[in-house]
Each structure stands twice: as C-alpha cells, then as structure tokens.
A and B are shown apart, each in its own frame.
Chain A
Amino acid sequence: MNAPILKLFVLVLVLFAALAAMTSYNSVINAEEYRDNALNKRPQIEQALVKRGVIRARDGSLLARSVKGDDEIYRRRYPPLATRFAHAVGYDYALTIGRAGLERSRNDALAGEDDEITSLIEDLSGDRQVGDDVHTNLDPRAQQIALDALGDRRGAVVAIEPASGRVRVMASTPGYDPSALRDPDVFRRLNAQRNSPLFNRVTQAGYAPGSTMKIVTAAAALDSGRYSPDSTVSGRSPIIVSGVPLKNFSNQQFGAIPLTTALTKSVNTVWAQVAQTLGRERMADYMERFGFGSDLPLDYPDAQIFPSGVYDLKRSELIPVGSRRVDIGRVGIGQERLRVTPLQMAVVAATVANGGVRMKSRLTRRIVDQDGRTVERIEPARAERVLSRKTAEQLTQMMSDVVAEGTGTAAALEGIEVAGKTGTAELNIERRINQPWFVGFAPRSNPKVAIAVTLENVVGGQGGTVAAPIAKRVMQELLR
C-alpha cells in the first residue's frame, strides 16, 4: 500500500502548491488590482485612520477639518464658510461618495502620503502619521461678492492674479453645502438635479464664448505680424462665411475700420474675415498656446477640468481646430461649435495682462505640516509665452478702449483703468436667450487681477449690461 500513499502525498503537494500560488496571486501578483478595485474601501479606510490636514482660505479661515469618531475613523467637517467655496474645496467622503475638488487633487498632502521617507521615519519612531494643511489663495470676501452678484442665477466668476496664476475667486452657482453630503442620499439627489449644483461651472462647463473669443483672434492677428491695431478691414454686413451669410449685431454697417475700432464695437464681420485670413493653422496654433484643446494646468482633479475647444457635439469629442470640418471664420468670433470654460477665458485675459506669458493656475498657496513648517510653497510657474510683449501691450490698449468707450463701460472702475471684452452668445434668437460674458483685467498698467464672468440662459441680457457689472464689483474688492 506504500506506493499509493506516496502518490497521495504527491497529490497533497500539488494541492498545497496551488494554495501557495493562489496566495501569491492575491497578496503580491494581483494585489495592485485588488487595491484599486472600486469595491475596496481599505485604502480609504487607511487614510481615514490618519488625521487629515485642514484646508484654509487666504486669510487663514478654516474651510475643512477632520474629527475623530468613536470608531477611530476621522471624518471631514465643513464649517459654514466652506459652503462659499464648495466647488473649489470640494469634499472628502471617501468611504461613501468619494472625493472632489482640492480634497481630491491635494489628497496626498492632506492624507500625509506625500513623502515616503518622512512616513518611514514616522513609522520607525512610532509617531502617528498626520496629514499636512493646505493653505489656499481663495479670498472669502471677494468670493462672497461674486456669489451675491450672481444671486440665484446660474453662472460662474473666476478671478486670477495674472503674474502668479493664483486663483482668488472661483464661484459657481448654484452651489451646495458640503456638510449635507455626509448623507449619501443628499449627494444622489443633488447629483440628479437638473441645475447641477455639484458641477463646478468655472472648470467643467463648456459655454459658447461669444465675442470674448475676439481677444484670441486679435492676439493671433497682431502677434503673427499680419495685422496691426490700425490695419483696416471692411465692416460691411452681411458677408458670406463658409457659404452661410454672417451679419453684424443688428446688421450694423461699417466701412473700412481699424481693428481697434472693430474690437471696441465688436464687429463680427471684421473678425470673421481676420480669422479666415489668418487661416485654420495659425488660429489653431494660438488657441493651443492659450491652453485650448487640453486640461488647463490647475491643482484640481483632471476629471473636473473640461478642455476648451471646438467640439463634435453629438459625440462630445474635441475636433482639431486645423480640421477642414471647422468654420474658422465663425470660430474667430466665438461661434461655431466652440465651447470654453470660464477658467479658460480668465487665463486668456491673464495672459494678455501678464505681458503675453501664460502662468499655471494655482488654488494652493502652500502646504504646511503640523509643526507649522512650510513643506511646499507653490511658486508661480510659467506655462508658456503665448504672445510677444509688444502684442500684449497693443492688445491691452485695444481692450482698454472697449471698457473706456465701447461695450464694456459697465466694468469701468473709478480711478483704475480696466481692460476687457464683453460677449453675448445668442443661444436662442427667437426667445432672446443669451450667454452674456465679461473677460478682462485691471489695473491696465500693472494688472493685479484677471477675471471672467458668465451667466447661463439670460433672457435679453448682454455681456455689457449683465456680466460687466459683476466683474466690476469683484475686481473692486480684489483691488481694494
């Protein structure tokens, strides 16, 4: 009977080898996949066992903190002030609904997972790992003014410091109370709501830019050397663009007018001709330099940043601007299937304000550890030179005229020169439903703030009458 006993032992060896193989697969070979499984809340639980850092506004006021429960788990608490910054700060309910906003993009720092070596030392010394604090550039007063100005309308205001890219205001309405999301049912309800309160309109909404796009067209025209501010182009209306007649606002007629005048009066036919003359390639090049076509650099989750550009609206896919399917004349005046975020337009204004250099946008100012030491200072960083200094200066002059004597006078500040451009995208001409815009910066000579303001579905409103006054109030506060 000994031979079969030996064979039986061999069988047991094989079975146990299979057990060891499965254990290897689970614990090592496929471990990463299991860790990333959506049903696996263990990585989030591990983070919730660590005291998460706080998030603060520019003036130091608290926007988010963590409180330990009876079950050793830290849970996020949002003070009333956080409601003001709901979209920028986001929320951290990792065990139920997930994370969004800065809570997501700065998770490594907040959870104390940014530095392998430090955490190893903390492990060895027995110190409990603690998260770092995130200090932001967000300005509670200016933010409140923006929210008040938007009121119960749907819209967005974003204000950036042109030289540093610091985001001072990021307002999107309607908003939400991040504390309420502790109840996942509230989250589900808000998520399904038609007016999308969880949606950050500053970074996620793609809107028709209307005439604000003419800043980009003018920049391309001047910087390419094909045009100067004094170059004249005929402003007659209508003209045929891509086989379809294009009219000026109220079908106004102009003779041969200089580009400065064409911007001040926002003459569609002039800018459509300029864009056509520049051609798809050159327009595509400048749009790309301004940041169109890809996620803008911002310390914010990629999933919450919408790239601006020309879209195949059925498939929600970007179409290359150089493509023959694109009507470049209409792109040049902000029509076609162009969709832009308020952040993108603020970045356009900031680039012009910063002498043609586009800076990376930043919500975070610095990251501070529990002993108050600054772990990381978020220094201003250049994204790219978009325009020559000369082009930027010429364009600034043209945009100043818009506010001084053109469509944007409502944004003018007492004693401070403002440069800007209005826009009114006509969404439904019969029902007079518009998307009004104001994009600009101030002070003209030494810009401290660049801004973009827009509102959804305003009946009869114009950029100059609806959006420009909001921009004025927010800029006034930020320049105080």
Chain B
Amino acid sequence: MSARNRELFALIPASLLVTAGFAAVFIQRENLMSDLSLTYGAIFLALCVATHLVLRMTLPDADPYLFPLVAVLACFGLVMLYRLDEELARNQARWFVVGLVFFTATIVALRHDHRVLERYRYVIALGGMLLLLLPRLGTPTNGAYLSFDLGPIAFQPAEVAKIAIVIFLASYLRDTRQVLVLGARRIAGITFPPLKHLGPLLAVWGTAMALLFVIQDLGSALMFFGGFLALIYVATNRISFVVIGLALFALGARVLYALRPTIESRVEAWLHPFDPELYEREVGGSYQIAQSLFSQADGGFFGQGFGQAIIQLGDNPPILPAAHTDFIYAVITDELGLLGAVAVLLVYLLIVERGFKTAILAQDSFSKLLATGLTAVLALQVFVIVGGVTKLIPLTGVTLPFISYGGSSIVANFILLALLLLVSDRARREALT
C-alpha cells in the first residue's frame, strides 16, 4: 500500500474518535445524542481529507503516520475544549483551518527543496529573536511576558520563534559541526569547542538567558535551550558539550533565580504546593498547581468521564484555572483517568518516534538536524508543560501542542509538522531510489 493510502486509512480512527468524543459530551450534557456530533465529525473528517489530498499531491512519499497522529491529538483537543466551552471549541476549529492554510502554504512554498531555508538562516534567526522581544510591549500574565495582543488575537511569539531557532541552528551546525569537533581541545579532561566557532552558540545561550530575564518565561527558555543542546549533541556526538551547556544554563538560571521573584515563587510553589501561605497568595502562589494535583487525584485509573471534572461553578472564579490552556492535561487526567492521559502521552511519543525516524532516514546533515531539532523541541514542550502540571518540574506556562487552546500554538505546530513532512518526503524518496 502506498504511503498516502496508509495515511488515509490511519485517519479513520481519528474521525471515529472525534465523533465518539462529541457524542459523549452531548450525551453527558443533554442526556440524548444529537446528530450534531456526527456533523462535527463529518466537518473534521472533511478537513482531514482535504489536507490529505494536499499531501497526496505535494509530498507523496512523506511519512504516512505523522498527520493522522496529529489529527488524533487535534480532534481530541477539540472535544476537550468543546466540553469546557463551546465558544472556545468553535474558535479553535477556526484556528485549525488557519493552521492548515499555513501548513499547506509551507509545503507549497518549500516543496521543491526545503533546504532553501539555509540561505535565510540569519534572517530567520534575527526574526525569531525579535519576535521573542515583542511581548515585552504587552502586559505580563502571571508575571511573565508571554503574549501580545494583535487586535483580537493574543499572539505567543515563542511558539513561532522556536521553529526559527531550530532552522538557524540546524543550518549553522551543519557548517560548523566538523570544526567544532576537530578544533576541540581537551582541558582538564573536558573537551571544549574552539572559541571562534563558539560565538553563535553563546549567542543562543544568551538568547535563552535573555528570554528568562526579559520575558521571564522559564518554560520557553527550557524549550529553546533543550532543543539547542539536543542539536549540539546530535551534530557533534560530544556529551561534554551538553554538560558545558547545562552548566552555563544552570549558572544563568541560578543568577536569575536570585534576581527574579517570578522564578523563585514558581520553585517555592513547586516544592511546597500545600503551604497555606503560598496557597492563599493571590499572584504567583501555589493555588494552581495544588488544584491541578487535586484534579488529577479525582481522575483515578479510568477517569470520571467527559464533563465530570469540577472546573468552574457558575460565574465564580474557576476552581481549576487555565483549564483550556496550561492545565488541559489535568482535565484530561481528571475525566479520562490515568489511562486516557497515558494514551495521550503515547500519541506524542509516536509522533516523536516518527520525527526521529525521519531524521535518521534523511541523507543530508541539514535535514537530519532540522528533523531532530523540530522533534526535540516538540517533545520538550510536552515535557515542560506536562511535567509542570504533574509537579515533576516547576510549572511554567507553555501550551500542550495541538491540544491546548491557542491560535499561535496551533499555527506554529502545523508549520513544524509541515517541515517534518517535507524532510520526510525527500528522505523516503531518496531512500527508495
């Protein structure tokens, strides 16, 4: 069976899932099944088929599982949002359309050779960094400058910037990976990269630190820097570089920890979520993380079922804040239980597996590094937010890709998917011939 036919068949479970999901929410809500759930399913299926046709025409050999896996997450997110607030789900559905437009545009623009991106690497890097500084113009949420308002839309530039940084690094490291390794010197048992090629890398480190300092966004900084280290490691196969990088990051974070109250209070809330003083604190306290844990505790093994989680009562302030963005994983655990939550993690893991597989298949260094970087950044994003929500690490606000509510997140992640498919298409075709 051809790759595209496999993709078409793999989309069927996603469509069934979205139909079943909406049906469940409807039954929960009205005690009867409305044919509206079938309509939603049909519209979603139509969108998927349309995208599939674009892929069939432009990237016939691309990985057949990536898109269906993302579709499963997207429809799952849509059902969760519908359950939280119909209005949100409608907006999100519109954003999916926008995301698919960007997806298609990316593929059409780069379908001959995605490596043209290398030519614009400095422009892309600069653009990414400027984007990151934009939110500084806006007002902080929870002490962090995460977004700025573009008319009616809140735009989170970190989502797009992460792709720009990965493109830049993949391109830059393709050029310098040899010299980084060959010019390296061993000092006191540790291998140090040659100084003159270190500049741009230090610039990335500086950006991550600046991210922390200027927009006070530990989550994005972790994501960027993690992606950076992953690429350095894959490009040079030197663990020592990673160690040096981690040490530098820790140093920077330690200084910021002392300077910035936001980060300190996050760590405090992480260590002592049930401290009454922290719990009661209006801003930067532990209320959110404590409620996230209580919500997960309600879920148990099988969950309480769609629509059963306690999130908000009437017009009172929400009991679980940011249920549609940062804490959507807590809601999933609450309503679908450990089983549902682990299933979601497994879908991400499968996407990551396909992403790394694409990197391994790719023939040229840039494509390899690009696929690795994009996949690593996606995996890290999931780790940062799910780790925060489950109290594995201090909580920092990033979206759960393809599931959380948020336009810029959807658009950025669909562009990320498009790039992965572009790499995959070329790699698999070259592997076949």
Tell me the A residues contacting B by CB distance below 8 Å. 1-9, 12-13, 15-16, 18-20, 22-28, 30-35, 37, 39-42, 45-46, 69-73, 126
The reply on B294 being an interface residue by CB < 8 A is: yes
Query: With A8-B233, A27-B297, A34-B294 in contact, do A71 and B315 touch (Cβ < 8 Å)?
Result: yes
A23 to B301: give the CA distance in the assembly, Å. 10
The reply on B2 being an interface residue by CB < 8 A is: no
A35 to B315: give the CA distance in the assembly, Å. 25
Q: Contact: A4 with B390, CB < 8 Å?
A: no
Query: With A5-B359, A5-B360, A71-B313 in contact, do A39 and B300 touch (Cβ < 8 Å)?
Result: no
Q: Contact: A27 with B299, CB < 8 Å?
A: yes
The reply on B293 being an interface residue by CB < 8 A is: yes
> Per-position contact with A for B278-290: 1 when CB-CB < 8 Å, else 0?
0100000000001
Q: Contact: A31 with B234, CB < 8 Å?
A: no
**CB contact between A28 and one of B294, B301, B368, B387 (< 8 Å): that residue:** B301
CB nearest neighbor in B for A36: B297
CB proximity of A35 to chain B, nearest CB, Å: 5
State which residues 259-277 of B face A: CB under 8 Å: 274, 276
Q: Contact: B356 with A9, CB < 8 Å?
A: yes
A16 to B352: give the CA distance in the assembly, Å. 11
A33 to B296: give the CA distance in the assembly, Å. 12
Which stretch in B78-86, B108-116, B209-217, B338-346 binds the other chain?
Answer: B338-346
CB proximity of A75 to chain B, nearest CB, Å: 12
CB proximity of A63 to chain B, nearest CB, Å: 27
Query: With A9-B353, A22-B392 in contact, do A1 and B319 touch (Cβ < 8 Å)?
Result: no
What residues of chain A lie closer than 8 Å to B359, measured between beta carbons? Answer: 1, 5
Give the most central of B235, B338, B382: most A CB within 10 Å: B338
CB proximity of A92 to chain B, nearest CB, Å: 17
The reply on B348 being an interface residue by CB < 8 A is: yes
CB nearest neighbor in A for B287: A39
Q: Contact: B333 with A27, CB < 8 Å?
A: yes
Give the most central of A1, A13, A126: most B CB within 10 Å: A1
CB proximity of A42 to chain B, nearest CB, Å: 5
Give the most central of B235, B274, B293, B314: most A CB within 10 Å: B293
What residues of chain B lie closer than 8 Å to A69, measured between beta carbons? Answer: 314
What residues of chain A lie closer than 8 Å to B382, measured between beta carbons? Answer: 16, 19
A-B contact list, 5 entries, CB within 8 Å: A1-B235, A6-B356, A19-B390, A23-B386, A37-B294
A463 to B377: give the CA distance in the assembly, Å. 83
A41 to B319: give the CA distance in the assembly, Å. 9
What residues of chain A lie closer than 8 Å to B102, measured between beta carbons? Answer: none
A46 to B313: give the CA distance in the assembly, Å. 11
What residues of chain B lie closer than 8 Å to A7, measured between beta carbons? Answer: 233
Q: Contact: A3 with B237, CB < 8 Å?
A: yes
Q: Contact: B297 with A26, CB < 8 Å?
A: yes
For the residues of A in contact with B, the DSSP-based class is helix
Query: With A4-B234, A70-B315 in contact, do A27 and B294 touch (Cβ < 8 Å)?
Result: no
With contacts A8-B376, A22-B387, A46-B310 known, what are 14 further pairs, Cβ within 8 A? Answer: A5-B356, A12-B352, A16-B382, A18-B387, A20-B345, A22-B390, A22-B392, A28-B300, A31-B299, A37-B290, A37-B294, A40-B297, A42-B294, A45-B310
What residues of chain A lie closer than 8 Å to B356, measured between beta carbons? Answer: 5-6, 8-9
Tell me the B residues contacting A by CB distance below 8 Å. 31, 230, 233-235, 237, 274, 276, 279, 290, 293-301, 310, 313-316, 319, 333, 337-338, 341-342, 345, 348-349, 352-353, 356, 359-360, 365, 368-369, 372, 376, 379, 382-383, 386-387, 390-392
CB nearest neighbor in A for B235: A1
The number of inter-chain residue pairs (CB within 8 angstroms) is 138
What residues of chain A lie closer than 8 Å to B372, measured between beta carbons? Answer: 1, 5, 8
Q: Contact: B338 with A34, CB < 8 Å?
A: no
What residues of chain A lie closer than 8 Å to B368, measured between beta carbons? Answer: 1, 5
Q: Contact: B234 with A42, CB < 8 Å?
A: no
Query: With A1-B234, A12-B349, A39-B274 in contact, do A26 and B333 touch (Cβ < 8 Å)?
Result: yes
A72 to B307: give the CA distance in the assembly, Å. 14
A33 to B313: give the CA distance in the assembly, Å. 24
Q: Contact: A42 with B353, CB < 8 Å?
A: no
Q: Contact: A70 with B294, CB < 8 Å?
A: no
What residues of chain A lie closer than 8 Å to B276, measured between beta carbons? Answer: 39
What residues of chain B lie closer than 8 Å to A25, measured between beta carbons? Answer: 390
Give the most central of A6, A16, A126: most B CB within 10 Å: A16
A236 to B263: give the CA distance in the assembly, Å. 81
Query: With A8-B372, A19-B345, A69-B314 in contact, do A26 and B237 touch (Cβ < 8 Å)?
Result: no
Query: With A8-B376, A19-B390, A39-B274 in contact, do A72 and B297 touch (Cβ < 8 Å)?
Result: no
A22 to B345: give the CA distance in the assembly, Å. 12
Q: Contact: A23 with B300, CB < 8 Å?
A: no
Q: Contact: B296 with A45, CB < 8 Å?
A: no
A415 to B298: give the CA distance in the assembly, Å. 63
CB nearest neighbor in B for A11: B230
A23 to B356: give the CA distance in the assembly, Å. 25
Q: Contact: B310 with A23, CB < 8 Å?
A: no
Q: Contact: B390 with A23, CB < 8 Å?
A: yes
Nearest first, the 9 A-B pairs at minimum CB distance are: A71-B314, A34-B297, A22-B390, A26-B296, A31-B297, A71-B313, A27-B299, A22-B392, A40-B294
A348 to B110: give the CA distance in the assembly, Å. 93
Give the most central of A13, A22, A70, A126: most B CB within 10 Å: A22
What residues of chain B lie closer than 8 Å to A12, measured between beta carbons? Answer: 349, 352, 376, 379, 383
Q: Contact: B314 with A72, CB < 8 Å?
A: yes
A326 to B368: give the CA distance in the assembly, Å. 86
A296 to B233: give the CA distance in the assembly, Å. 71
CB proximity of A39 to chain B, nearest CB, Å: 6
What residues of chain B lie closer than 8 Å to A42, measured between beta carbons? Answer: 294-295, 298, 310, 319
Query: With A4-B237, A71-B316, A73-B313 in contact, do A20 and B293 touch (Cβ < 8 Å)?
Result: no
Q: Contact: B387 with A8, CB < 8 Å?
A: no
A56 to B230: give the CA distance in the assembly, Å. 69
Q: Contact: A4 with B392, CB < 8 Å?
A: no
A70 to B316: give the CA distance in the assembly, Å. 10
What residues of chain B lie closer than 8 Å to A40, measured between beta carbons? Answer: 290, 294, 297
Query: With A16-B345, A19-B345 in contact, do A126 and B31 touch (Cβ < 8 Å)?
Result: yes
A15 to B372: give the CA distance in the assembly, Å. 16
What residues of chain A lie closer than 8 Å to B233, measured between beta carbons? Answer: 4, 7-8
A12 to B233: give the CA distance in the assembly, Å. 14
CB proximity of A233 to chain B, nearest CB, Å: 60
Q: Contact: A5 with B234, CB < 8 Å?
A: yes
Q: Contact: A8 with B293, CB < 8 Å?
A: no
CB proximity of B295 to chain A, nearest CB, Å: 8
Give the most central of B359, B372, B390: most A CB within 10 Å: B390
Query: With A1-B234, A45-B313 in contact, do A15 and B379 touch (Cβ < 8 Å)?
Result: yes
CB proximity of B346 to chain A, nearest CB, Å: 8
CB proximity of B168 to chain A, nearest CB, Å: 18
What residues of chain B lie closer than 8 Å to A20, measured between beta carbons? Answer: 341-342, 345
Q: Contact: A23 with B338, CB < 8 Å?
A: yes
CB proximity of B321 to chain A, nearest CB, Å: 14
CB nearest neighbor in A for B361: A2
